[in-house]
Amino acid sequence: MKLSTRLEAAGYWASEIIDHAFIYSLHSFDHNSIAIEFSSYSEEIDIRKNSTMIDRFPSAIAMEGSDPQPESGQ
């Protein structure tokens, strides 16, 4: 059963699926009216393989990239 169908059957509002090009999102609210987002990666695009640095002054940590880094001292 689709997530949106399950949410609506339980009495919760569910947004339409939003295509962000690299993930798909569905938005809703929990029982305390706090916004929540459910997301799933797009199988067509892997942003880890095609990442682009757009920060004009990236920090040293940002320049390490998205791959796991060994902890210092090891």
Look at residue 22 in the predicted model and tell me its pLDDT: 82
Sign of the four-CA dihedral 48, 54, 58, 63: positive
Look at residue 1 in the predicted model and tell me its pLDDT: 72
Q: Dump pLDDT digits (tens) for 10-27.
A: 999 999 999 988 889 999
Strands, E assignment, the chain? 18-19, 23-29, 35-41
From residue 10, alpha-carbon distances to 16, 28, 46 in Å are: 17, 12, 33
Look at residue 73 in the predicted model and tell me its pLDDT: 63
3-class DSSP state of 11:
coil
22 exposure class (CB count in 10 Å sphere: 0-12, 13-18, 19+): middle
Q: Dump pLDDT digits (tens) for 39-74.
A: 998 777 777 777 777 889 999 988 888 788 888 665
